[in-house]
Chain A
Amino acid sequence: MNDQTLFSIFFSAMVVNNFTLAMFLGLCPFMGVSARVETALRMGLANIFVLVLTSFAAWFLNTYVLESVPFLRIISFIIVVASLVQIVEMVVKKISPTLFRQLGIFLPLMTTNCAIFGLAIFQTNRGYGFLQGITFAVGAGLGLTLALVLMASIRESVEFSDVPGIAKGTGLVLIIAGTLSMAFMGFAGLL
């Protein structure tokens, strides 16, 4: 067991060690669905949901199943993540077909979203308990959403400005991400 307080776990996952900007997890959706603020926000919310479920499942597996076979960890985590994403996909399709279309390929791609798998691995490596795991997941999810929405709002404004030809596309997005990441470094002194 890890004896960090819940608040420090939450805050650290959200801003200080932001999954996207400080640990480079979940970069695919970060580049892919960050063109519109609204889509980015919804993608973030879907991510929070999957993250919390994953955290719970990983905790359950770690406590009751994998204790004697730690080498099966990677394989069993990826199966859990894949099935969870499938469930979320079905739920989203039923509840909001519009969102389902907007997220498109990035919804099934959540299976290979490093953020979700990474959460399960980090949670295990740090030995978080149940409550700590859930807090970690919510913090990480909020952090992802924050990064996605910030990025999307910057990109929406950049769209109307005249950037040099060579900077069109991913290069510019990465430079913006670098700047955002520098801004988030400012939070490092808080904890």
Chain B
Amino acid sequence: MRKTTPSQDFIRGIWKENPVLIQMLGLCPALAVTNTVKNALAMSAATFFVICCSSILISTCKRFIPNEVRISAYILVIATFVTLADMMLQAYAPVQHKELGAFIALIVVNCMILGRQEAFSAKNNVFRSLLDAIGTGIGFTIALVMMGGFREILGTGSFMEISLFGPSFEPWVIMVLPAGGFLTLGFILLFMGYIEQRKKTKLEEAEAVEASS
């Protein structure tokens, strides 16, 4: 593995290796709960809490976890924090808890969290694991809020329940339905592919100009 600086650990998860948009991990919550921005925020907050806490705990205890049972040990740690997050949401934000329902429990099986533990926390110290977890958590939040924003604005014509377009707006109901989740993420990916391709052609053109001169 290439050596990275702490700041790189932090930045990497936010955009360049964004868990949802680039690595396609944790798609399940990203698609299921992003029909409104509020749900997306609640989901991101819970996931953020779980990934940070488990990163701290696992990078601290990595010396005591036998290699053969590490995956099960990680899953147990994550499950414990998910239970905590579930209880806290139930106590402090009962409306959101009801809206998200089973998807809070499903944070346990979010591949993104387990992936970060296995790929990073198991090999690095507490400080850098925490930075990595925060970066990944922010990246996840950005992706979720972006999708939630698109879907809520187009699907209901409002943002955070504030109406944007007035009564004459005809909502695109499809965007808040499950199909809209797939389509939104699909179009975001297509757009990113377009940018990537344009960058590549520009680079090639620049090289061609350099070669000819």
Which residues from chain A sit less than 8 Å from chain B, CB to CB?
Answer: 21-28, 31, 71-75, 78-79, 82, 109, 111-114, 117-118, 121-122, 125, 165-175, 177-179, 181-182, 185
Contacts and interface: CB of A to CB of B under 8 A. Distances in A.
A170 B79 contact: no
Given A121-B102, A166-B193, A174-B186, A74 B86 contact: yes
Interface in B102-134: 102, 105-106, 108-111, 114
B41 interface: no
A117 B111 contact: no
Interface stretch (B11-19, B54-62, B173-181): B173-181
B83 A28 contact: no
A82 B73 CA distance: 11
A163 to B, nearest CB: 11
Interface residues of B, number: 42
A117 B197 contact: no
B31 A117 contact: no
B68 to A, nearest CB: 12
Nearest 3 interchain pairs by C-beta: A174-B186, A178-B182, A171-B189
Contacts of B76: 75, 78-79
A181 B193 contact: no
8 contacts: A21-B178, A26-B28, A78-B76, A79-B76, A114-B106, A125-B101, A171-B193, A182-B174
A112 B115 CA distance: 10
B87 interface: yes
Contacts of B105: 73-74, 117, 121
Contact of A175 (B83, B86, B190, B192): B190
B190 A24 contact: no
A175 B183 contact: yes
A165 B109 contact: no
Nearest to B181: A24
B168 interface: no
Contacts of B106: 25, 114, 117-118, 121
Given A112-B114, A121-B105, 12 more contacts: A24-B32, A25-B32, A74-B86, A75-B80, A78-B75, A78-B109, A109-B111, A112-B111, A114-B28, A167-B193, A175-B186, A178-B182
A74 B182 contact: no
B143 to A, nearest CB: 13
B136 to A, nearest CB: 16
Interface string B160-201: 000000000000001001111111011101101110110000
Contacts of B80: 75
A71 B27 contact: no
B31 A118 contact: no
A177 B86 CA distance: 30
